Amino acid sequence: MGGCFSKPKPVELKIEVVLPEKERGKEELSASGKSSPRAYQGNGTARHFHSEERLPTPHSYPGTQDCVEAAVCHVKDLENGQMREVELGWGKVLLVKDNGEFHALGHKCPHYGAPLVKGVLSRGRVRCPWHGACFNISTGDLEDFPGLDSLHKFQVKIEKEKVYVRASKQALQLQRRTKVMAKCISPSAGHSGSTNVLIVGAGAAGLVCAETLRQEGFSDRIVLCTLDRHLPYDRPKLSKSLDAQPEQLALRPKEFFRAYGIEVLTEAQVVTVDVRNKKVVFKDGFKLEYSKLLLAPGSSPKTLSCKGKEVENVFTIRTPEDANRVVRLARGRNTVVVGAGFLGMEVAAYLTEKAHSVSVVELEETPFRRFLGERVGRALMKMFENNRVKFYMQTEVSELRAQEGKLKEVVLKSSKVVRADVCVVGIGAVPSTGFLRQSGINLDSRGFIPVNKMMQTNVPGVFAAGDAVTFPLAWRNNRKVNIPHWQMAHAQGRVAAQNMLAQEAEISTVPYLWTAMFGKSLRYAGYGEGFDDVIIQGDLEELKFVAFYTKTGDMSWLTGKGS
């Protein structure tokens, strides 16, 4: 999956621009009984608490009447290394031929529903064409992220030169499979003050850590705590689909947490970590002891420090409520976005059909300049300008002016004054690690938590993952890097869980991120910070291109493909 252009070996990074992805359908587990979050008292303060029980596991083949079997092709219809989407009953199956053997799997990626037949088959795995999730064709298991669920694997037999596939009707409809998980055998009684595993942060890293522990047979208590009022949700969608409601963003329904005994504390802020006594203290005074700890607190958005920063209708986007308020107030109004990184540009793209006007303020010469380079940045900037977005580049905000307390104008250091009813600030983020400063857990000069390849901190039994960590990137000569990607958080959460169970796993996944704007999807594989050169293949003006980012003298590489 990649290679080198010349000696010394360069870093290659590939960007792809393709058609936009479809939203995945929500397929929730059905509960055997009703669930109701219950509040418990922590030193006099009510806390939101979700403690869920196990759901019945559906059987793949419950009976002959619940299955469908049919011949789907002739054995010679597929060559080795080929995939085909075939009809089976009222559903579809991905048929794969690899090393002379046929495999039948679910045909859609469980992450967002991408057609896997358009993906890549290599070394016994099929990789999703949209976001790079990887599935083992022998088992259907998810082996690389993003996403949480695996594929169904269906029975295949050969008779009289024909390939027959047998599948349960339920599996054909669901198109996703949750791995078998252990049941918690030591549930909490009331507000028990101790847990075997405490996970601080309920983003991708925290959720995947909890799920991996259960998948690996861990049956003791797991507590997941979050500042959010919601159960874990799909945070990258906040800036891509600002109208999305919390229930539409949920990564798992609350019945899931009941089924697998994963307790979730919402609106729960940890203020102190006592590593000597293995105990955390929450803002309301509640104390919880732990045996193993995962720190996955994520990051907090930077805010403006200019005059008038306290006026109304100036937002950062951190929660579904933030995103919903922005799109509601921006309809038919003048909107200014400060920052031309991924979040800012996604918000600007989404609001163009809803706001009266959209303006972007950026300190650099072009959007994405440090990340994608000037040529790619200018091409993307042109796409935005063609969609009525106005740019104010190489300047920053000096003042926010209000009328009756609400934003009315944004004054720039270039002396320009931009009309604005709503302002969205997307100028980066800082790790949410202030509560660790006196804990004895090492932080670097920027506030990140340094970890080793096994996601371990300097304190035994304490692990960290997600946006708030720096870790050694193996194919960049173990350089300590921070990669705040959704997919990377998944992978780090899994490695942390494996090492809580003494499996000696190491982080090795290739970083991957994606975005979609104006009907184009940008896909970025690898880590190209500090690149020396950009090699463009294809038509950059038409946004049908691949870009390789190279750095002379480095042994690592990054790649992707586009059309």
CATH H-level, domain 197-300+431-501: superfamily: FAD/NAD(P)-binding domain (3.50.50.60)
Which one has a higher pLDDT value, 496 or 555?
A: 496
Residues 120-125 have a mean pLDDT of 95
Which residue type occupies 8? P
63 pLDDT band, cuts 50/70/90, is low
CATH H-level, domain 512-562: superfamily: FAD/NAD-linked reductase, C-terminal dimerisation domain (3.30.390.30)
253-295 tens-digit pLDDT: 999 999 999 999 999 999 999 999 999 999 999 999 999 999 9
| Residue 67 confidence (pLDDT) above 70 | yes
Residues 519-542 have a mean pLDDT of 87
Residues 51-69 have a mean pLDDT of 52
H/E segment holding residue 389? strand 389-393
**pLDDT score, position 29:** 28
Q: How far apart are CA 342 and CA 350, in angstroms?
A: 12
| Residue 489 confidence (pLDDT) above 50 | yes
65 pLDDT band, cuts 50/70/90, is low
Tell how many helices (H) and how many strands (E) occur in the chain. Answer: 9, 37
445 pLDDT band, cuts 50/70/90, is very high
190 pLDDT band, cuts 50/70/90, is low
| Residue 30 confidence (pLDDT) above 70 | no
444 - beta bridge partners? none
Measured from the Cβ of residue 289, the count of other Cβ atoms closer than 10 Å reads: 15
Is the domain spanning 67-178 CATH 2.102.10.10? The answer is: yes
Q: How far apart are CA 343 and CA 222, in angstroms?
A: 32
Main-chain dihedrals φ then ψ at residue 172, nearest 5 degrees: -65, -35
317-415: which CATH number, 3.50.50.60, 3.10.350.10, 3.10.20.30, 1.25.40.10? Answer: 3.50.50.60
**pLDDT score, position 306:** 95
**pLDDT score, position 150:** 97
**pLDDT score, position 138:** 96
- pLDDT averaged over every residue in the chain: 87
8-22 tens-digit pLDDT: 333 344 444 444 344
Domain ranges of the chain: 67-178, 197-300+431-501, 317-415, 512-562
Shared fold status for 197-300+431-501 and 317-415: yes
| Residue 52 confidence (pLDDT) above 60 | no
- Among 339, 386, 390, CA closest to 518: 386
Q: How far apart are CA 198 and CA 9, in angstroms?
A: 43
214, 181 Cβ separation under 8 angstroms: yes
60 pLDDT band, cuts 50/70/90, is very low
| Residue 246 confidence (pLDDT) above 80 | yes
